């Protein structure tokens, strides 16, 4: 326990770093992913093509490579000086751009689970496009999107640790600070593991609860 109680400041700082990466990266991923997901189901062929190319390329790119490009190749291109806030912003966008592909795919497959007949029936009743979307399609799609979306966010939470390799403060990088203070690295990493297992189990529990509550009866 001493590893934690003697270094509360560091644990707090790194935990906050992880949460910032998780929440800000999640926001970027949600916004970008929704746009790309909408492009992938849009009636415009060129938008669908762009969405498909984006998703297929980034999904076959290691996250470490995305981070690598953002941390090492982008600063000389854009003339950025690598201060702590800049590194953090770059890390958030690396995580967001990577996770956005999974968000987009989740949204797309969620929309695909709604039977065509639902929208056709709604149109036959004379509902407008907005009404079909807001009252018939989206409520059903939303329910089937939530559980897999939670999985995407669980993965995002675990992926925040990759930022540790690119000098961004988070739970993944606490190891190096602790070893400077002469703490037992083995114990520190075990504690980090325990924290992640707890956080992931918490999110999976929420996922299961939401899933039971929002099951689509079909």
Partner 1 sequence: MSSSVLYDVPGPRAIVRNRILGVITVLVVAAVIGFFVWRLAATGQFSAEKWAAFTYTNVWIQIGLATLRTLGAFAVAAVGALALGFILALGRLSLHRWVRWPAGALVEVLRAIPVLIFMFLLYYGLPVLGIRMEPYWAVVIALIAYNGSVLAEVIRAGVESLPRGQSEAGYAIGLRKSGVMRLILLPQAIRAMLPVIIAQLVVTLKDTALGFIITYPELLFYARFIGSQSTLGSPIVPATIIVGAIYIGLCLILSAIATLVERRLRRSARTTRVAGANQPTQEVTDTELIAMQKGAGKYDAQGL
Q: Compare residues 24 and 203 and give the one whose CB is closer to partner 1.
A: 203
User: Please, what is the minimum distance in Å from the beta carbon of residue 153 to partner 1?
Assistant: 9
Comparison of 24 and 119: residue with beta carbon closer to partner 1: 119
**Is the CB of 68 or the CB of 142 nearer to partner 1?**
68
Least distance (Å) from partner 1 to the CB of residue 29? 11
Please state the closest distance from residue 89 (CB atom) to partner 1, in A.
17
Report in angstroms how near the CB of residue 167 gets to partner 1 at its nearest. Answer: 11
Closer to partner 1 by Cβ: residue 39 or 92 = 39
**Minimum CB distance to partner 1, residue 136 (Å):** 9
Nearest CA among 204, 199, 187 for reference residue 161: 199
144 closest CA partner among 215, 39, 218, 217: 215
């Amino acid at each position: 326990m001493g590893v934690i109680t003697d270094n509360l400041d560091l644990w707090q700082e790194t935990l906050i770093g992880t949460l910032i990466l998780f929440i800000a990266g999640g926001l970027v991923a949600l916004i970008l992913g929704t746009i790309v997901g909408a492009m992938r189901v849009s009636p415009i062929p060129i938008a669908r093509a762009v969405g498909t190319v984006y998703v297929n390329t980034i999904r076959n790119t290691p996250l470490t490579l995305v981070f690598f490009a953002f941390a090492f190749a982008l600063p000389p291109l854009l003339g950025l000086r690598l201060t702590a806030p800049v590194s953090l912003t770059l890390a958030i966008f690396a995580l967001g751009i990577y996770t956005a592909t999974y968000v987009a795919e989740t949204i797309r497959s969620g929309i695909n689970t709604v039977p065509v007949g639902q929208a056709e029936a709604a149109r036959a009743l004379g509902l407008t496009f907005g009404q079909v979307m807001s009252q018939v399609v989206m409520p059903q799609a939303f329910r089937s999107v939530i559980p897999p979306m939670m999985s995407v966010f669980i993965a995002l939470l675990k992926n925040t640790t990759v930022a540790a390799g690119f000098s961004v403060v988070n739970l993944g990088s606490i190891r190096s600070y602790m070893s400077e203070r002469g703490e037992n690295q083995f114990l520190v990493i075990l504690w980090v593991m325990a924290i992640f297992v707890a956080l992931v189990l918490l999110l999976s529990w929420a996922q299961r609860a939401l899933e039971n509550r929002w099951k689509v009866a079909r």
